[in-house]
């Protein structure tokens, strides 16, 4: 064995060192060994916890930045849009192109040819609508029934407030949710949002499925009248 300082370490000295190490921990026992490495393990655990906290903080900060950006866009829109720009009704369908923050995956079709988009990766989809709110309006969200399951309720979040659905109608193909928006004294953009109660990864839920996306309900159409 070579000595890092240029000499040769005698084999009998190596064996002597081995015996000394073995004797040391035989005398101190397992507790002695644990006591020796415990500070290093504690430091590693603290570092892992710090990294996890940092990741959580960065995720939270990113979401807050997106919300601030959306709020700024809405505020700008309020000041730049005249009352004449607000419409009596509107319709949003799965075939349309969506902004990244709308929280939908790509366009797909059922075996019957019905277009839809999975909600995700965020559990809440939010769309800004320039609807005339001088009188009550009805928001209708149409979801493909097969994507709901027995417990996957759709939650209504209109203008940032949780609101109970006035009516839910289901058939074999679609489940339709209706909610009424009360009139506003002053026109402003309306934030239409709905949230999937349950989200899942098909690859972790169904056997032999390789779809690793985080998905909720299958969106078909949203209308405001």
pLDDT value of residue 137:
95
End-to-end CA distance of the chain: 86
153 lies in the same domain as 216: yes
Q: Are residues 138 and 61 in the same domain?
A: no
- What digits encode the pLDDT tens for the residues 168-200? 999 999 999 999 999 999 888 898 999 998 899
pLDDT per residue as tens digits for the range 20-58: 666 666 655 555 655 666 676 677 777 777 777 777 777
pLDDT for 152: 61
Decide which of 80, 107, 131 is a domain's last residue. 80
Are residues 90 and 44 part of one domain? Answer: no
CATH code: domain of residue 163: 2.60.120.260
Same domain, 95 and 65: no
User: pLDDT exceeding 70 applies to what percent of the chain?
Assistant: 72
Same domain, 74 and 104: no
Same domain, 73 and 104: no
Same domain for 102 and 207? yes
Q: What residues make up the domain containing 70?
A: 1-80
Same domain assignment for residues 27 and 62: yes
- Pairing of the two strands 154-158 and 137-144: unpaired
My answer on whether 162 and 100 are in the same domain is: yes
């Amino acid at each position: 064995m070579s000595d890092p300082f240029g000499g040769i370490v005698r084999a009998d000295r190596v064996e002597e060192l081995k015996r000394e190490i073995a004797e040391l921990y035989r005398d101190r026992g397992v507790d002695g060994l644990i006591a020796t490495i415990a500070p290093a393990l504690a430091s590693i655990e603290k570092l892992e916890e710090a990294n996890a906290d940092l990741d959580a903080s960065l995720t939270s900060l990113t979401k807050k930045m997106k919300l601030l950006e959306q709020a700024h866009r809405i505020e700008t829109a309020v000041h730049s849009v005249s009352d004449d720009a607000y419409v009596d009704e509107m319709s949003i369908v799965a075939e349309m192109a969506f902004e990244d923050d709308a929280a939908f995956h790509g366009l797909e079709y059922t075996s019957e040819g019905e277009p839809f988009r999975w909600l995700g990766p965020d559990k809440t989809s939010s769309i800004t609508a320039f609807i005339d709110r001088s009188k009550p309006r009805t928001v209708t969200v149409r979801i493909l029934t097969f994507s709901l399951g027995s417990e996957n309720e759709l939650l209504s979040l209109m203008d940032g407030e949780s609101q109970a659905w006035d009516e839910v109608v289901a058939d074999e193909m679609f489940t339709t949710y209706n909610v009424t928006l009360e009139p506003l004294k002053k026109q402003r953009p309306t934030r239409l949002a709905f949230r999937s109660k349950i989200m899942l990864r098909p690859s972790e839920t169904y056997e032999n499925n390789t779809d690793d996306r985080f998905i909720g309900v299958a969106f078909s159409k949203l209308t405001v009248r």
